[in-house]
């Protein structure tokens, strides 16, 4: 397995690095970013928080805008940020920002032309952590978090794989994608018109039926311009109430959908995950 280092920047005593590697799952070259805290120096293994970004993002948005490195350095937590879709000139795309490259929705596509590359669910669940854990001083102890489309991805991955993640958190997640324009458009393209196939990627439907439980924290801004039409946190609250799920959903007056909101609360999210990661 070859992995190419693209950048290295010292940050709060640790290192932010970007890498390119060949993904067998996605059938293309991929880039990801990792923050290794100072505690990882000398080869000591540290637990990791995987971060899934939203529509239009790459591995860079979270690492450059959220300001998570200081708390990660204090806690001794690695941060891993994949890209949001397969990439490349031969990879199917769409002119719209909410479909195709930059908009993988963390599903395994079954429909042409998307099914040649778009398998972000398997990439985030299996291929990327195995790569990270074999190359870096990163333990197999994982939590997962994300924003918007990435919040949907993080919650779906944790709900479907409670043995793989110690905790999950999300900012402004697309909480009920089978019932919102972003989700309906992406799921119809990637999964086809049979809506029974969509349910496996809907956080609210999964939480309603969850048996095993991963502790979950969700933050939502009240001034988010996507709140009513796209995000639907009320569906998640109803699902959690129905299944008595350990979900803490907080609403914050005046905050919007941006990374200014994420930066305001990312420290609390890292401390939340630290409890479950044994830090």
Ligand X SMILES: N[C@@H](CCC(=O)N[C@@H](CSC=O)C(=O)NCC(=O)O)C(=O)O
Contact present, 212 and 161 (Cβ < 8 Å): no
Nearest residue (CB) to ligand X, 56 versus 200: 56
Beta strands 28-36; 78-82: pairing state: antiparallel
Binding of ligand X by 176 (CB under 6 A) = no
Q: Is 224 a catalytic residue?
A: yes
The correct pick among 97, 130, 181, 222 for binding ligand X (CB under 6 A) is: 97
Nearest residue (CB) to ligand X, 159 versus 227: 227
234 by DSSP, 3-state: which? helix
Q: Write the DSSP symbol of residue 231.
A: I
For residue 238, give both structure tokens.
């109803």
For residue 54, give both structure tokens.
């939203």
Could you say which of 148, 167, 172, 204 is catalytic? 148
Could you say which of 16, 147, 257, 269 is catalytic? 257
Q: Is 244 a catalytic residue?
A: no
Binding-site string for ligand X from residue 51 to residue 90, where x marks contact by CB under 6 A and - marks none: ---xxxx---x---x-------------------------
Picking from 17, 21, 279, the residue whose alpha carbon sits closest to that of residue 130 is: 21
Count CB neighbours of 143 within 10 A: 28
Q: Is 7 a catalytic residue?
A: no
Nearest residue (CB) to ligand X, 145 versus 210: 145
Tokens 């398998």, located at residue: 119
Could you say which of 23, 224, 269, 273 is catalytic? 224
The residues of the shown chain that bind ligand X, judged by CB under 6 A, are: 54-57, 61, 65, 97, 147-149, 257-259
């Amino acid at each position: 397995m070859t992995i190419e280092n693209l950048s290295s920047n010292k940050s709060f005593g640790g290192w932010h690095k970007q890498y390119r590697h060949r993904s067998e799952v996605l059938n293309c070259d991929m880039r990801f970013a990792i923050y290794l805290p100072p505690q990882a120096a000398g080869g000591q293994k540290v637990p990791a928080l995987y971060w899934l970004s939203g529509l239009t993002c790459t591995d860079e948005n979270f690492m450059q805008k959220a300001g998570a490195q200081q708390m990660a350095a204090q806690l001794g937590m690695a941060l891993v940020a994949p890209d949001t879709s397969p990439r490349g000139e031969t990879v199917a795309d769409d002119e719209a920002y909410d479909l195709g490259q930059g908009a993988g929705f963390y599903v395994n596509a079954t429909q042409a032309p998307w099914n040649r590359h778009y398998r972000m669910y398997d990439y985030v669940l299996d291929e990327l952590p195995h790569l990270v854990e074999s190359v870096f001083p990163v333990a197999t102890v994982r939590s997962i978090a994300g924003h918007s489309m990435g919040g949907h991805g993080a919650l779906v991955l944790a709900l479907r794989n409670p043995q793989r993640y110690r905790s999950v958190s999300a900012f402004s997640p697309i909480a009920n994608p089978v019932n919102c324009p972003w989700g309906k458009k992406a799921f119809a393209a990637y999964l086809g018109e049979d809506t029974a196939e969509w349910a496996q990627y809907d956080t609210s439907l999964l939480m309603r039926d969850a048996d095993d439980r991963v502790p979950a924290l969700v933050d939502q801004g009240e001034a988010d311009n996507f709140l009513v039409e796209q995000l639907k946190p009320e569906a998640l609250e109803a699902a959690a109430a129905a299944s008595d799920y350990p979900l803490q959903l907080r609403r914050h007056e005046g905050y919007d959908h941006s990374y200014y909101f994420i930066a305001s609360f990312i420290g609390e999210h890292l401390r939340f995950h630290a409890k479950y990661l044994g830090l």
